[in-house]
Amino acid sequence: MAEMKTRDVAANPSYRKITFFIALTLFAQESTWNFYDNQVPVLLREHVASAALVGALMGMDNLLGIFIQPWIGNRSDNTRTRWGRRIPYLAVGMPIAAILFVFLPWTTSAAMLIAVMVGYALVANTMRPLAESLVPDFIPPERRSRTNAVVKIAAALTIIVASLISLLVVDDHPHAAFAIPAVILLLVTGVIVAKIRDSESPGYRAAAAAHAHVPFRAVVTDLVTDRDRRRLLLLLTVMLFGGAWFASRSLITPYGMEALGLTRGEAGGLTLPSGIAYVIAAYPAALLAERFGRLKTMGVGMIVFAAAMAAGSMVQTATATVIVFCVAAVGAAGFLINAAVVLWNLAPSSRVLGTYTGLYAVTWYLGGFGGPALIGGAVDLIGWNTMLLDIAVLAVLAVLVVALLGRLQRRADTPILK
């Protein structure tokens, strides 16, 4: 019976349609974000000499996201309109973000550029959790992993789009280059406003039927005081593994230069094949989760990631590092595709799905902030040669937490989370 239900869900064309539109929305949003990461540092360098200050300003969007994303997620959870609870914000916010984005290269001073950056980061950060929350709004629990995989693939492909715009357009048309992602964002806004009515989603209908406002403080209080610790353990896992993942990405260039003797350009290209490996592995990771269970897939994926990092510390060559990072990316896909799905499925009701999407983002960003700092501190004490092993240790801590979560899950015996 369960297998028949899964086949029926997979065959439903409405799920494929909404998956496409959600993926398109994230593709448009991430196109601007990735081009922002590629080219705004260059704009800052025209006004700011300090590399540390440039780095701090580029990290500002993640800091803002920690506060904005759970707030907007909760606000949208409690919004009721004939358009739904997410689309009204997306319909207004995405065009505003596009306008601010286009204005970035036209700024003439550091103060003006930073002001536009802050404005863009504030608006764009409100859009991220709203688009992602459409997944649990529309998609039933048993199909969320494969939908999330498609969404993650769409977001990953924007790295290629941003690179192509930089390669083909920026040098000759530096101002017009910023208009390309902005136009994509505007066009997609029109598409989703015309095609998506999240007032028709099962999640919205269930929340509207409850006739109850759920304050953000109440959601957090329930999370912290509930005797069921699964949600807290999952968020801890997200933070720990997020730390390992971000450390492996953000410190690879200096690692390649210091431990492998590569040039800056050579070291910077070490992770490119692993990005392709991640895209290839994303959808199979969703199918494996449906077949063997999400927690098992996450745990095995993290073990593969940790083992690959440990192996990389023993064979320190450029070729071996590329292979190691490809294997690690495949393992990481098992976690990255399924972790948010497990949190959505653990949420106490559909009324708080947006808030939980925001909480996932907070712990992920905290890991992204703390992980590189922690591993960087270990490098200062021990040296670059053990960096990959240090990352493996952090990933193993995440594995231990998810193992405890699995034990609690077996007691709860909720089939969709096995």
pTM listed for this prediction: 0.84
Q: What angle do CA 145, 162, 244 make, to 5 degrees?
A: 50
Give the pair of three-digit tokens for residue 117.
């950056």
Task: Tell me which architecture the domain covering 1-213 has in CATH.
Answer: Up-down Bundle (1.20)
**Spatial distance between the Cα atoms of 406 and 340, rounded to a whole number of angstroms:** 16
**Spatial distance between the Cα atoms of 160 and 338, rounded to a whole number of angstroms:** 24
| CATH label, 214-413, candidates 3.30.360.10, 1.20.1740.10, 2.40.50.100, 1.20.1250.20 | 1.20.1250.20
Give the pair of three-digit tokens for residue 371.
């992980």
User: Which one-letter DSSP state was computed for residue 352?
Assistant: G
Give the sign of the dihedral formed by CA 95, CA 99, CA 102, CA 104.
Answer: negative
Question: Does residue 338 sit in helix, strand or coil?
Answer: coil
DSSP 135-172: HHHHS-GGGHHHHHHHHHHHHHHHHHHHHHHIIIIITT
DSSP 354-417: HHHHHHHHHHHHHHHHHHHHHHHHHHHHH-GGGHHHHHHHHHHHHHHHHHHHHHHHHHHT-GGG
The domain locations on the chain are 1-213, 214-413
pLDDT, one tens digit for every residue, the chain (418 residues)? 333 344 444 445 578 889 999 999 999 998 898 788 777 878 888 887 776 677 677 777 878 888 899 999 999 998 888 888 999 999 999 999 999 999 999 998 889 999 999 999 999 999 988 999 999 999 988 888 889 899 989 988 887 787 678 778 877 888 888 999 999 999 999 999 999 888 888 888 888 887 778 888 899 899 889 888 999 999 999 999 999 998 888 788 788 888 888 886 688 778 778 888 998 999 999 999 988 889 999 999 999 999 999 999 998 899 999 999 999 999 999 999 999 999 999 988 888 999 999 999 899 988 887 888 888 888 888 888 999 999 999 999 999 999 999 888 887 765 545 4
**Spatial distance between the Cα atoms of 387 and 252, rounded to a whole number of angstroms:** 9
**Spatial distance between the Cα atoms of 105 and 84, rounded to a whole number of angstroms:** 35
Domains 1-213 and 214-413 share a fold: yes
Helix 353-382, helix 230-250: angle, nearest 10 = 50
